[in-house]
Amino acid sequence: MGWEVKARTVTDSDFPGTSVVTLFTPEPTAGVYIDEGLIEFMRRYGYPDTNGRPDRINFGGIYRANAGAHARTGLRLVLDGYESGGSKYSPSGAIRLLDQDDKEAMSWSFAKLIDHWKTKHAAAAYVPAQQLVVPERRYRYGKNILVGEGAEFGLFLAGVQEGRVYYDPGIKLEAYSTAKPVPKKRSQFRVSSKHIPNLYVSSRVVDACEEAGQV
C-alpha cells in the first residue's frame, strides 16, 4: 500500500533503544567498480580477511563525508554537488569514493539515488525486531513503530554531509587466487535509528496495537 516496512534489529523489542539501520543498498553507478569490474576493484582496494579465512579479500569499513581516508582501503567519501546547509544540489552530483590519487573507485550519481530514495522512502515504517537463535530461530516485534513521511532527497544528502548517514559495505571475493574467484556484492548506506526522523519531512511513533484496536 505504498509503505516501505523495515525491521531494525534490537536486543529488547519492548525497550528498543537505538540501533543501526540499513536504509538502502544501491549498487555504484561509476568508477573502477563499474569501468573495470568488481574483481579488479577488489584486487586494487580490497584487503585480506581480518579473521584469517584463507584465499579471501574483503572491502568493508565505515566511510563518512569529511572523515579522511579509511586505513585499510585508502579510500575517502566525498559528497560532490551538494550545497552544505541547504536543500540545493546539482543534478550531475554524486557520492564518490576517491583514492589517494583522486581516482574514482566507485560513485553513486544523484540522478540514480534520488529515484531509489523517493521510491523506497516516500513513506517508511521502522519496526523494532528481536531475534533469538537458540533453541530455534524465533522473532519478536515491538509495537512502537517509527513512521516517516516525505522523503526529500536534500534531507538525505544533509545526513551524508553531516556524517549521520554513512557507507558501510560488506563486499568480499572468495577463491581469490583461482581462475574463477567468487564475488559477493553488498553496498549499503546506514544510519543510527536516532537520526531517522531527520531524513523525513514529518515523523512520529505509532503504537501499532493501540491503533489496530481502534479500527
Predicted confidence at residue 100, as pLDDT, reads 95
Calculate the average pLDDT of the chain. Answer: 92
Please report which confidence band the pLDDT of residue 213 belongs to, taking 50, 70 and 90 as the band edges.
Answer: low
Q: Cα–Cα distances in Å, from 80 out to 31, 134, 168, 193?
A: 14, 46, 19, 25
Predicted confidence at residue 129, as pLDDT, reads 94
Predicted confidence at residue 211, as pLDDT, reads 64
**3-class SS string, the chain:** CCCEEEEEECCCCCCCCCCEEEEECCCCCECHHHHCCHHHHHHHHCEECCCCCCCEEEECCCECECCCCCCCCCCEEEEEEECCCCCCEEEEEEEEEECCCCCEEEEEEHHHHHHHHHHHHCEEEEEEEEEECCCCCEEEECCEEEEEECCCHHHHHHHHHCCCCEECCCEEEECCCCCCCEEECCCCEEEEHHHHHHHCCEEEEEEHHHHHHHC
127 has a pLDDT exceeding 80: yes
Predicted confidence at residue 201, as pLDDT, reads 94
170: number of Cβ within 10 Å: 14
Predicted confidence at residue 214, as pLDDT, reads 57
Please report which confidence band the pLDDT of residue 162 belongs to, taking 50, 70 and 90 as the band edges.
Answer: very high
Least confident of 68-72, 106-110, 119-123, 170-174: 119-123
